[in-house]
Amino acid sequence: MIVAEQKPLAEIKGIVAPYQRLLVLGCGTCTKTCFAGGEDEVATLASALRLAFKKDGKTIKVQELTVERQCEDEFIKQAAPLVGGIDAVLSLACGAGVQMVASRFRKIPVLPGLNTTFIGVLEKQGLFIEKCLGCGNCVLDDFAGVCPTTRCSKKLFNGPCGGSKNGKCEVNPETECAWQLIIDRAKEFGQLDKLKAYSPPRDWRTSHAGGPRKLVREDHIV
Amino acid sequence: MTLPHTKRFRPRITVFHCLNASAEPALESSADYEVKAVNMPCSSIIREVFLLRAFEAGADAVALLVCPEGQCHNVNGNIRAARRVARMKRMIDEIGLDGRRLNIYNIPPGNKLAIQHAIRQTVHDATALGPNPAA
């Protein structure tokens, strides 16, 4: 899932201050799962904003709606009946969702309520960890299912740096050494020899370079 | 010259109350304060938005009465409630209303004295902090 974090209330308050009528628009998929932008978070933030502005002697009308996800127009258009009566949308989706809503409702400002952080997983209750950088060239099969691009602080592809201590990374001792994990898992599968294969310098053109990436599936275009 | 009559501040408090902590809360308004009671089958049912909406509805202070740690009928309900209260205290501070307006109290089952103490403390806090500036 995409993991995001709600912006501090003071920052959100500053962002929405110019507007009197606001729609707080939640997302029922990724940001709900990481407790940043689902129905509960929409309701709480809307209430907090009303209280904060009222305390300052100002009135702000805040409406609330959560759609299944904001990265698809099919769901975003559910907000259309509300958009006519508001001055701005405060989106609690990831950056992709905010921009999708902005494309849909071109005549009103669409504001971000979250900081989108990473592609990750729920490791255990309350803990979300980054697992994937979206590099566009997945080689997890070469590394026993542990990604050196994302999980090695130095992005090393040809073995450990030698600086780890008790399985923890020397760059950040709170992080597990990715190469320790790779080696341990490869050993379990009997695939340690695979790690001897040389990985050439990576072609980063499939990654975050040269503008927004695109995927076209013509088989889905009718 | 006749001075205008000064209206005495009569705090309005909202009490979210776990029915397992006590089935018969002694929660009645008095001349000194107004109390609204919201019963819950378990404190775990509390949502953060309920706490904020109590302040939106005009509460000067909000209290949660929950079972003592280790005695929740639903295992961890009171601990979840405590986490949510802690988070909302910080939120209420950020809003500028003062997080001391929101508190949680562990009530041994059937202990009416503990309930009365919690109410008295909540009223005291509300009186000290003054009316809810966002009411």
Mean pLDDT within A169-194: 95
Pairing of strands A21-27, A61-67: parallel
The total of other beta-carbon atoms located within 10 Å of residue B114's CB is 18
Among the partner-chain residues A10, A44, A54, the one whose CB lies closest to the CB of B94 is: A10
Report how far residue A72's alpha carbon sits from residue A49's, in angstroms, rounded to the nearest whole number. 27
Size of chain A in residues: 222
Q: Which helix (H) or strand (E) holds A127?
A: strand A127-132
Domain spans in chain A, listed from the N-terminal domain onward: 2-118, 135-206
The CA dihedral of A123, A127, A131, A133, to the nearest 10 degrees, is: 160
> What gap in Å lies between CA A123 and CA A150, rounded to an integer?
15
Instruction: Compute the nearest-CA separation of A28 from chain B (Å).
Output: 17
Cβ-count burial A174-186 (b if 16+ within 10 Å, e if not): eeebbbbbbbeeb
The contact set of B with A (CB < 8 A) is 47-49, 52-53, 55-56, 91, 94-97, 133-134
Tens digits of pLDDT across chain B (135 residues) = 444 445 689 999 999 998 887 766 567 888 899 999 999 999 999 999 999 999 999 999 999 999 999 999 899 999 999 999 999 999 999 999 999 999 999 999 888 899 999 999 999 999 999 999 998
Q: How close, in Å, is residue B114 to chain A by CA atoms? A: 30
What is the value of pTM for the model shown?
0.91
Residue pLDDT, tens place only, B31-63: 899 999 999 999 999 999 999 999 999 999 999
Say if CB A122 and CB A101 are below 8 A apart.
no
Cβ-contact B44, B76 below 8 angstroms: yes
Residue A88 DSSP one-character state: E
Structural domains in chain B? 12-129 (3.40.50)
ipTM of the modeled complex? 0.90
> What CATH number labels A2-118?
3.40.50.2300
Q: Which residues in chain B have their CB less than 8 angstroms from residue A44's CB?
A: 47-49, 52, 91
Crossing angle, helix B48-56 and helix A39-55, to 10 degrees? 30
Structure tokens at A101: 């809503």
Contacting residues of A for B55, CB less than 8 Å apart: 51
Closest chain A residue to B51, measured at CA: A44
B71 to B23, B60, B75, B101, B106: CA distances (angstroms): 15, 29, 7, 26, 10
pLDDT for residue B2? 45
Instruction: Compute CA distances A24 → A43, A86, B92, whole Å.
Output: 8, 10, 19
Question: Which residues of A make CB contacts under 8 Å with B?
Answer: 8-10, 40, 43-44, 47-48, 50-52, 54-56
Instruction: Tokens for B132, please give them.
Output: 């809810």
> Quick check: B38 and B13 in contact, CB under 8 A?
no
Pairwise CA distance, residues A30 & B40, whole Å: 30
